Amino acid sequence: MKLQPLGDRVVVTPTEDAESRTPSGLVIPDTAKEKPQVGEVIAVGPGARDDDGERIAMDVSVGDKVLYSKFAGTEVKLDSGEHLVLSERDILAIVN
């Protein structure tokens, strides 16, 4: 069972260790500020359309590790675990 996102949406698998300091070094602060989280992109939509109805190319690809707002998107549980469907606008950065 797979999700094919529409428009500029992507499906992300949250990375387990996103909220504690890890050997790879990423730590998410626990303050009153907007909270980011790290995940891996597993599906990418075809892109939103511009004013002329043309698709706008997506900036993320399947396999990218991305930083996104923890409060964005919609949670979905599949057999493969918990995923998130979110708009590319809610992705802050690609983590290298």
Enumerate binding residues for a copy of itself (CB under 8 A): 1-7, 9, 11, 21, 24-29, 31, 33-36, 43, 45-46, 49-54, 56-57, 59-60, 67, 69, 73-80, 82, 85, 88-89, 91-96
Q: Minimum Å distance from CB 52 to a copy of itself?
A: 6
Q: Minimum Å distance from CB 45 to a copy of itself?
A: 8
The residue count for the chain: 96
Of 11 and 39, nearer to a copy of itself (C-beta) is 11
Give whole-number Cα distances, 40 to 12, 58, 83, 91, in Å.
Answer: 5, 15, 10, 11
Of 5, 4, 11, 10, nearest to 77 by C-alpha is 11
Of 6 and 62, nearer to a copy of itself (C-beta) is 6
Q: Minimum Å distance from CB 75 to a copy of itself?
A: 5
Of 90, 82, 95, nearest to 38 by C-alpha is 95
Q: Minimum Å distance from CB 40 to a copy of itself?
A: 15
Distance CA 73, CA 54 (A): 24
